[in-house]
Each structure stands twice: as structure tokens, then as C-alpha cells.
């Protein structure tokens, strides 16, 4: 058994004060750091994803640029532009605890870590297979979007998945609750860190 932790999109633009900040984002960042400092040896590898969008682009229709207005379903305000502070990890997340960094959403809409690549450009599924990962714990932002999509991707790939429910934050309570229920029905286990 090889266990991995997925840290999903704990970035400045998704925590309080960011372009798409969610309530509880800063607490998730700090909570993941505290948890990993105590449990790093529980994991063979720690992956962290980041949205990494191209400046001045709609990124395949994902970002609404003027005069368009975001619908907050398929199109979003400008966020997580590559190389900007908004794309950086939240300062509460200790990036030294991350083994592999994954970037996603480069010129295309992407919600799941499975749609990303590592720093060398290898697709994430290849990276994950290279580590022979069988079990995945998932934490991060947002429960109802990228956490959901990443956990579903892990389940579809045949891995056992646990959601660390006290280390996720969502856009809205109702959609976050629905996402967790969907993940549980799909085979994920809901646990607290």
C-alpha cells in the first residue's frame, strides 16, 4: 500500500481576501500544515495542486474577461494567474512539506488534479502511477469544486479515497454538503484529521 495526500488549490486567490476567496480557507491552510507536521510519516508522497492560469487569456472560456461577466458556474473572475501572488500557496500552508507540485488549468478549464502536470510537464496520472499510489487522502479548497473533482478522479482511477472533512473549505454550505454526500456515495470515506 502506498498512501498519498492530495492538497488541492490552497492558494491566495481561494482563501480569504482572494479573487475567489472562501470562508475558512486560511484555517484550512494552517490546519493542513499542523496536520502534516504531525502526520508526514503517514504518507509516502504529498502532492499539491494549484490553478495556474495564463495572463490575458480566457483559459479556454474558464475566465471571463471584460466585457463578459462571470456566471460563477462555468466562467469565473480573473484568478490564479501564473506567477502572481494570487497563484501562490496561502502563507499558512508550509510548502516545504509538499513533495510534488502540480499545475492545472493552463489555457484550459481544469478542476481536478488529474488534469494537471508536474514541473517537468508529465501528466498527473503518470506521476501518480510512478509512485504506485493505492490510497489517497484529500484536503483543500474548494469542497464543492476542485476537491470534489479531484476525489472523483482518484475514485475513478481505482484508488481508495478518504476526505479529511475538517481540512476542506467550500464555496457554499449546501453545495459543499452535497459534494461530500456524492463522494461518499461514490465510495470515498469521510473522516476527520
Q: Catalytic amino acids?
A: 9, 104, 146
CA dist., res. 69 & res. 106, Å (int): 21
> What per-residue string of b and e applies to 85-116 under the rule 16 or more CB within 10 Å gives b?
ebbebbebbeeebbebbbbbbbeebbbbbbbb
Q: How far is CA 135 from CA 30, 58, 84, 99, 138, in A?
A: 23, 35, 33, 16, 10
Residue 90: DSSP 8-state? P
C-alpha cell at 125: 496520472
- Contact of 187 with 150, CB cutoff 8 Å: no
CA dist., res. 56 & res. 48, Å (int): 25
Residue 117, classified by CB atoms within 10 Å of its CB into exposed (0-12), middle (13-18) or buried (19+), is middle
Amino acid at each position: 500500500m502506498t498512501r498519498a495526500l492530495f492538497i488541492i488549490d490552497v492558494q491566495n486567490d481561494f482563501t480569504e481576501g482572494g479573487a475567489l476567496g472562501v470562508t475558512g480557507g486560511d484555517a484550512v491552510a494552517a490546519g493542513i500544515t499542523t496536520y502534516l507536521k504531525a502526520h508526514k510519516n503517514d504518507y509516502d508522497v504529498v502532492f499539491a495542486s494549484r490553478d495556474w492560469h495564463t495572463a490575458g487569456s480566457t483559459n479556454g472560456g474558464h475566465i471571463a474577461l471584460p466585457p463578459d461577466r462571470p456566471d460563477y458556474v462555468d466562467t469565473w473572475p480573473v484568478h490564479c494567474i501564473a506567477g502572481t501572488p494570487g497563484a501562490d500557496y496561502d502563507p499558512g500552508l508550509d510548502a516545504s512539506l509538499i513533495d510534488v507540485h502540480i499545475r492545472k488549468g493552463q489555457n484550459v478549464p481544469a478542476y481536478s488534479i488529474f488534469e494537471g502536470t508536474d514541473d517537468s510537464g508529465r501528466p498527473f496520472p503518470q506521476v501518480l502511477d510512478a509512485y504506485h499510489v493505492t490510497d489517497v487522502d484529500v484536503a483543500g479548497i474548494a469542497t464543492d469544486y476542485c476537491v470534489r473533482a479531484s476525489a472523483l478522479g482518484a475514485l475513478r482511477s481505482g484508488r481508495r479515497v478518504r476526505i479529511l472533512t475538517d481540512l476542506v473549505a467550500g464555496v457554499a454550505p449546501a453545495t459543499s454538503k452535497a459534494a461530500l454526500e456524492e463522494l461518499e456515495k461514490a465510495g470515498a470515506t469521510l473522516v476527520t484529521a
